[in-house]
Amino acid sequence: MSCIKSIKTNHKRRTERREVHSRPTGVNESRPSRTLLNQKLQRSHQKTRSHPKVLQELIRDQWENNFQPQWFITLLWNDLPTRSETVISHSRHFRNVFLTSLLNQPLKKLPQPPFRPHLVFFHERKPVITRGRQITAFHTHLHLGALPDPLNHLWYLDHLIHQKVSPRVQKLLKTTSEGNRGVVIKPWNWDHSVEV
C-alpha cells in the first residue's frame, strides 16, 4: 500500500509542477491562424510533393502577415564561399556593420529587432567558374524592411552600403561593373520572394 501511495503522491507532485511551468493562458492567441497556415502548407505539399513550393508558401505568409520588405539587395562575396558557415558569418558581419552605420550606434547599443529595420537573409548557391574550374558558391539576398523615414531612398541606401559599409566588410565584393556588381539594390516586389 505504501508503494501505491508514494506513486500517487509523486504523480500529484509532477502534475502540480507541470501546472506551475505550463504556458500562461492567452499567450499564444495566433494559434487558429497558425493551424490554418499548417493546413495550407500540408495541402500545398500533398498537391505538389515539393518542399521548395511549401517553403515559398511559408515565406509568402511571413511577408503578408509579419512584415513586407521595402528593399531587395543581392550581395556577392569575394572569397566565393562554398560552406554555409562561411556565408552566414559574412552576413552577420555585414548586418552588424550595416546597422551600426545606419543607426549611428555602437553594436552593443543597437535597439532590439522591433525597434530597428527588419533584415532577412537568404543564401543561394550558384555555379561559378574560378581559376579554370567550376565551384558552387554562395551569394546572399537581403530582404530589408523600411528604413527610418528620411533615409528610405535608393540613393541613400546605395551611398550607405558603398561608402560606409563596404570599406568595413572585407569579404564583400567591391566591383561595380555591369554584370559583376558586388552589391545590387532594388525596390522589393513579390517576384523577389519567389527567387528565394
- What burial letters (b/e) apply to 152-189, b meaning 16+ CB within 10 Å? eeeeebeebbbeebbeebebbbeeeeeeeebbebeebe
Q: Are the C-beta atoms of 40 and 56 separated by less than 8 Å?
A: no
- For residue 105, the model assigns a pLDDT of 93
Same domain? 161 vs 100: yes
| pLDDT range class, residue 131, cuts 50, 70, 90 | confident
- The C-alpha atoms of residue 192 and residue 196 are separated, in whole angstroms, by 7
Write the CA distances from 75 to 8, 37, 123, 172, 182, integer angstroms.
Answer: 61, 31, 10, 7, 6
Give percent of the chain above pLDDT 70.
Answer: 72
Q: Are the C-beta atoms of 138 and 123 separated by less than 8 Å?
A: yes
Q: Which three cell numbers stand for residue 182?
A: 558586388
Q: Would residue 121 count as lying in a domain?
A: yes
- For residue 130, the model assigns a pLDDT of 87
Q: Does pTM surpass 0.85?
A: no
- Burial class for 60, CB neighbours closer than 10 Å (0-12, 13-18, 19+): middle
Same domain? 76 vs 166: yes
Q: Are the C-beta atoms of 174 and 182 separated by less than 8 Å?
A: yes
Task: Report pLDDT digits (tens) over 105-128.
Answer: 999 999 987 788 889 999 999 999
AA identity, residue 64: E
Same domain? 89 vs 144: yes
The CATH number assigned to the domain holding 179 equals 3.30.70
Domain that holds residue 153: 71-188
- For residue 9, the model assigns a pLDDT of 56
Q: Would residue 193 count as lying in a domain?
A: no
Write the CA distances from 43 to 36, 57, 61, 147, integer angstroms.
Answer: 11, 11, 15, 36
The residues that bridge with 187 in the sheet, in sequence order, are: 71
Question: What's the structural domain count of the chain?
Answer: 2
- For residue 13, the model assigns a pLDDT of 54
CA–centroid distance for 8 within its chain = 48
- For residue 180, the model assigns a pLDDT of 83
pLDDT of 80 over the 60 cut? yes
Top-confidence residue, 66 or 49: 66
Cβ-proximal residues to 37 (8 Å cutoff; 6+ apart), any chain:
58, 61
pLDDT of 57 over the 80 cut? no
| pLDDT range class, residue 193, cuts 50, 70, 90 | low
Same domain? 174 vs 118: yes
| pLDDT range class, residue 144, cuts 50, 70, 90 | very high
| pLDDT range class, residue 194, cuts 50, 70, 90 | low
Same domain? 85 vs 127: yes
- For residue 7, the model assigns a pLDDT of 46
Task: Report pLDDT digits (tens) over 171-185.
Answer: 999 998 888 899 999
Task: Report pLDDT digits (tens) over 14-53.
Answer: 445 444 444 444 444 445 556 766 666 676 666 776 677 7
